[in-house]
Amino acid sequence: MRVARLLLCCVLLEDYSTNLGGTAITSDAMRQDGSSSATNPTLSDVPSFSEPIGNVTAAIGKEVALSCTIRKVGNYKVGWLRAEDQTILSMGDRKVIQSTRFFVTLENAKTKNQTQSREDEEATWQLHIRGLKEADRGCYMCQLNTKPMLSQLGCVDVLVPPDILSSGTSDGEVSVLEGENATLSCKASGRPPPRVFWRREKSDFILVRGVHDPLIQVDNLSGERLELTRVDRRQMGAYLCIARNEVPPAVSKRVNLKVNFPPSAKAPNQLLSSPLDTNVSLICLIEAYPKTINLWMRKEQVIMSGGRYEIDERGDPDEEWKTTIVLKIRRLEKADLGEYTCSASSSMGKAEATLRVYGKLSLPA
Ligand SMILES: *[C@@H]1O[C@H](CO)[C@@H](O)[C@H](O)[C@H]1NC(C)=O
Ligand SMILES: *[C@@H]1O[C@H](CO)[C@@H](O)[C@H](O)[C@H]1NC(C)=O
Ligand SMILES: *[C@@H]1O[C@H](CO)[C@@H](O)[C@H](O)[C@H]1NC(C)=O
Ligand SMILES: *[C@@H]1O[C@H](CO)[C@@H](O)[C@H](O)[C@H]1NC(C)=O
Ligand SMILES: *[C@@H]1O[C@H](CO)[C@@H](O)[C@H](O)[C@H]1NC(C)=O
Nearest-ligand number for the alpha carbon of 196 = 3
Question: What mean pLDDT is predicted for residues 281-296?
Answer: 97
Q: Among 212, 48, 31, 61, which residue's Cα sits nearest to residue 130?
A: 61
Give the residue, out of 178, 181, 213, 226, with the most ligand 4 atoms within 8 A of its beta carbon, to mutate for a pocket test: 181
Burial class from Cβ neighbours inside 10 Å (0-12, 13-18, 19+) for residue 321 reads: buried
- What gap in Å lies between CA 104 and CA 72, rounded to an integer? 19
5 has pLDDT over 50: no
Q: Is 181 in the pocket of ligand 4 (CB under 6 A)?
A: yes
Nearest-ligand number for the alpha carbon of 183 = 4
Q: What is the pLDDT of residue 228?
A: 95
Nearest-ligand number for the alpha carbon of 197 = 3
- What gap in Å lies between CA 188 and CA 163, rounded to an integer? 5
Cα 277 to ligand 5 centroid, rounded to whole Å:
10
112 has pLDDT over 90: no
Asked if 328 contacts 280 with a C-beta cutoff of 8 angstroms, the reply is yes
pLDDT tens digits, 309-355: 999 999 998 899 999 999 999 999 999 999 999 999 999 999 999 99
Q: Is 278 in the pocket of ligand 5 (CB under 6 A)?
A: yes
